[in-house]
């Protein structure tokens, strides 16, 4: 009985057998992504730095965010209506497609690299800001099982907008709200630039 319980707990932790974790189809996702390409690019690499690049993002995270836009947990004048009619399978397919794409290489502002690296790798102790590496990993690839997103090669402008939204409480996520709320504008700009250059 204990062995069975342990296997069930492990399966639950890994998302095995969960309908919510059903895998999407890359091919179906590509077909469904045509309308998304206007903002996020045909391969998930957006050209507008205010819109996120989705290429290489964990499918679990992308599907969660689409669901959040659909159910109103996240609000955005462009994304909320786009997600409103998506089925769970649509979300899984789109997420699978974007995860399979290669992120474009971007560069950090050389003048901000040192400050951004310091925050990413070591945090800001005097303000209680933890190191980003703890959740997002040494190269910014996150942790799909924990739903921590890929942050490497993301547009600095978008990352900064996201951190400000967390800090203001506009974007829901208690962990990130607590962290971003302790960051200065200079911290946000520096670490966002550093993320843009991560590979």
What's the pLDDT score for residue 22?
61
∠ CA 99-61-152, nearest 5°, is 65
Q: What is the pTM of this model?
A: 0.87
Q: Residue 10's pLDDT is what?
A: 39
Q: How do residues 32-66 score in pLDDT, each as one tens digit?
A: 999 999 999 999 999 999 999 999 999 999 999 99
Q: Would the CA dihedral through 176, 139, 94, 10 be positive or negative?
A: negative
| 196 Cβ contact list (under 8 Å, min separation 6) | 106, 107, 108, 153, 154, 155, 156, 159
Fold agreement between 2-99 and 113-197: yes
Taking only Cα atoms into account, the Rg of the chain, rounded to an integer number of angstroms, comes to: 17
Can you tell me the distance from the alpha carbon of 175 to that of 181, in angstroms, rounded to the nearest whole number? 10
**Residues 71-80 as b or e (16 or more Cβ within 10 Å = b):** eeebeeeebe
Question: What's the confidence (pLDDT) of residue 141?
Answer: 98
- Among 122, 54, 134, 144, which Cα is nearest to 94's? 54
Q: 183 Cβ partners below 8 Å, 6+ apart?
A: 119, 124, 127, 129, 163, 167, 191
- Class of CATH domain 2-99: mainly alpha
Residue spans per domain, the chain: 2-99, 113-197
> How far apart, in whole angstroms, are the C-alpha atoms of residue 135 and residue 157?
21
Q: In this predicted structure, what is the pLDDT of residue 11?
A: 41
Instruction: Give me 196's structure tokens.
Output: 């843009």
Residue length of the chain: 199
Q: What is the pLDDT of residue 13?
A: 43
Under-70 pLDDT residues of the chain: 1-22
pLDDT at 2: 42
**CATH classification number, 113-197, choose in 1.10.760.10, 3.30.830.10, 3.40.50.2000, 2.40.100.10:** 1.10.760.10
Residue of 145, 146, 147, 143 whose CA lies nearest to 133: 143
Which H or E run includes 197? helix 185-197
């Amino acid at each position: 009985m204990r062995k069975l319980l342990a296997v069930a707990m492990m399966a639950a932790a890994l998302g095995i057998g969960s309908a919510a974790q059903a895998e999407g189809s890359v091919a179906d996702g590509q077909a469904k992504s045509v309308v998304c390409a206007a903002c996020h690019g045909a391969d998930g690499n957006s050209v507008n730095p205010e819109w996120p690049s989705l290429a290489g993002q964990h499918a679990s995270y992308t599907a969660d965010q689409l669901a959040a836009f659909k159910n109103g947990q996240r609000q955005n004048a462009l994304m909320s209506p786009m997600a409103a009619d998506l089925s769970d399978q649509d979300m899984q397919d789109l997420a699978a497609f974007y995860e399979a794409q290669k992120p474009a290489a971007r560069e950090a502002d050389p003048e901000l690299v040192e400050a951004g690296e310091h925050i990413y790798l070591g945090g800001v102790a005097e303000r209680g800001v933890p190191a980003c590496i703890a959740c997002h990993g040494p190269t910014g690839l996150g942790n799909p099982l924990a739903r921590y997103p890929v942050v490497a090669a993301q547009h600095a402008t978008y990352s900064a907008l996201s951190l400000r939204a967390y800090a203001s409480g506009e974007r829901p996520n208690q962990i990130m709200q607590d962290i971003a709320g302790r960051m200065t504008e200079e911290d946000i700009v520096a670490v966002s630039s550093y993320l843009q250059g991560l590979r």
